[in-house]
Structure 1
Amino acid sequence: MAFTRPTGKHRRPNRRAARTGAGLAGVAALTTTGVVSTLASPAAAAEAPAHTGFTEAIVIGHSLADRIDDQAAAQRLAAEDAAAEQAAVEAARLQAAEAKRKAEKKRAEKVRAARAAERERLNRYVLPVEGSYVSTGYQTGGSLWSSGSHSGVDFHAPAGSAVRAVGAGTVVETGWGGAYGNEVVIKMHDGTYTQYGHLASATVSVGQTVTPGQQIAVSGSTGNSTGPHLHFEARSGADYGTDMDPVAYLRGHGVDV
């Protein structure tokens, strides 16, 4: 039986291309085994580089590795220094805040102590004549007094003795007081009144604030008096007849009399 070829132009197979393809396939096959065959001419084989099929490794020298380590160490030290500096700043801030708190506390304590001392000073009571004693007692009877009895007490006081406010208060009267002679009347800080009579002269004026022990007058023998002394009264009000026992009054405020 005969075969017929289709009409048209046909080329013969390209034997050179086939050989080239086969050669490349061979090279690829041999490359996977790590061996390269030379399919070209000896000269071409001499020029082609040898391949092992393994990836080349990059080897870093010791000097480069040392530099990298040094840089890492420097960065680590810098971070540690920065952290230490920040910690020192925070510690200094806390120390300053604590010192400020202590200073403020100390100042507050001083203020409280000063106020307490001032309150104690203003609440203190003293004798109207320093180192004196009572020469005539309260409610002593006799014709010397128009009411028939003594409305206060007399303190021994030679002429010219300093007469002092027994406590803190405000002067409400000075000048002539009739039978009391020259007098000073003080409204005390607790609302009571104290009166100082038979004075030679007063050294304070109305409206003046006085403190415990402050001199307010000089003793004498003016008014209804038989000799130099200080007449002292304690009153619950401003008017005559509101008198209280002056000794009990002073003792009630801590005065040794």
Structure 2
Amino acid sequence: MAFTRTATGKHRRPRKPGLRTGANIAGITTVASGVVAGIAGQAFAADEGPSSHETGLTQAIVIGDGIADHIEAQAQSQETAAEQAAAKAKAEAVARQEAARKAEAAAKKAKAERDAKLRAAREAERKRLNTFVAPISGSYVSTAYQASSGLWSSGTHTGIDFHASTGTSVHAVGSGEVVEAGWGGAYGNNIVIKMNDGTYTQYGHLSSIGVSVGQKVTPGQQIGLSGATGNVTGPHLHFEARTSAEYGSDIDPLAYLRSHGVNV
């Protein structure tokens, strides 16, 4: 309610008949969006009633319960919106952190898989390079080691002969470096390889040579073609295993191959 004060002195104006004293109290005008729009007393401008100066009454602005509730609801709505925005930002930050964690885990997993594949590949290559094969695939020994005959200057066979027709692919039995490739007298066209384990292998009577001195070779690599060059009675491959590159340092080639896992 508005506060009123009774005028003092002889100038107090008598009431008009039927007119309430409180009629000059300022009215309450409805406020939109929390703003007091004006004073309702203006509605009485057409009345010729006494002014506040004459009556001693004071006009007042009163905020009703409805406006207060509206302001409080608006503040509560803003607070709720702020809380929701903060919660959304926090959820997004958590989601980004989780995505980053998953990406990091995936990257670590991919790296571990790549490293494992590289290790497996290196191990496979190491095994391959340490593997020995037969000098001619699918063949057999036609003349044994140290067989006796006048065909050989030493009186015995210093290697083994593998059955092969002219032009059959001849392979390096293991990894090594070519130390001789060319004419070898009684051996005809021949190749000598220093193996990685320090031993030497020889391939004789070739019809053609496919490697050169200083070249690195790997197990199963084709190095030439079998033939009948040199001191021979027919096409075949003469294979020797030696402790050095020199003639006369031969060892049993069949035992040599078998000791390296070759099934001959």
- Amino acid paired to 2:248: G
Corresponding position: 1:159 with 2:162 = no
Q: How does 1:211-250 map to 2 (within 5 A)?
A: 211-250=218-257
CA RMSD of aligned residues (A): 2.6
Q: Distance in 1 between matches of 2:194 and 2:239?
A: 14
Per the TM alignment, residue 234 of structure 1 is displaced from its structure 2 partner at its CA by: 0.8
**C-alpha contact 2:210 2:222 (8 A) present in aligned 1:** yes
Per the TM alignment, residue 42 of structure 1 is displaced from its structure 2 partner at its CA by: 8.8
Using structure 1 for the length normalisation, give the TM-score: 0.75
Give the equivalent residue in structure 2 for 1:84: 91
Q: Secondary structure at the match of 1:185?
A: strand
Give the equivalent residue in structure 1 for 2:202: 195
Q: Distance in 1 between matches of 2:244 and 2:227?
A: 26
Q: Secondary structure at the match of 1:61?
A: helix
Give the equivalent residue in structure 2 for 1:104: 111
Q: How does 1:60-71 map to 2 (within 5 A)?
A: 61-71=68-78
Higher CA-based Rg = 1
Q: Secondary structure at the match of 2:8?
A: helix
Per the TM alignment, residue 152 of structure 1 is displaced from its structure 2 partner at its CA by: 0.8
List gaps (5 residues or longer) in structure 2: 1-5, 13-54, 58-63
Q: Percent same amino acid among aligned pairs?
A: 58
Per the TM alignment, residue 168 of structure 1 is displaced from its structure 2 partner at its CA by: 1.6
Give the equivalent residue in structure 2 for 1:115: 122
Q: Distance in 1 between matches of 2:144 and 2:257?
A: 13
Per the TM alignment, residue 197 of structure 1 is displaced from its structure 2 partner at its CA by: 0.7
Per the TM alignment, residue 48 of structure 1 is displaced from its structure 2 partner at its CA by: 9.3
Range 112-121 or range 173-182, more displaced = 112-121
Q: Secondary structure at the match of 1:94?
A: helix
Corresponding position: 1:131 with 2:131 = no
Give the equivalent residue in structure 1 for 2:8: 43
- Amino acid paired to 2:150: S
Per the TM alignment, residue 142 of structure 1 is displaced from its structure 2 partner at its CA by: 2.4
**C-alpha contact 2:160 2:238 (8 A) present in aligned 1:** yes
Give the equivalent residue in structure 2 for 1:148: 155
Per the TM alignment, residue 111 of structure 1 is displaced from its structure 2 partner at its CA by: 1.4
Give the equivalent residue in structure 1 for 2:212: 205
Q: Distance in 1 between matches of 2:88 and 2:236?
A: 85
Corresponding position: 1:93 with 2:100 = yes
Q: Secondary structure at the match of 1:172?
A: strand
Q: Distance in 2 between matches of 1:177 and 1:136?
A: 20
Q: Distance in 2 between matches of 1:83 and 1:237?
A: 77
Per the TM alignment, residue 137 of structure 1 is displaced from its structure 2 partner at its CA by: 0.9
Indicate how the Cα distance of structure 1 residues 48 and 163 shifts in structure 2: closer, same or farther if over 3 A, else same.
same
Per the TM alignment, residue 212 of structure 1 is displaced from its structure 2 partner at its CA by: 1.3
Q: Secondary structure at the match of 2:191?
A: strand
Using structure 2 for the length normalisation, give the TM-score: 0.73
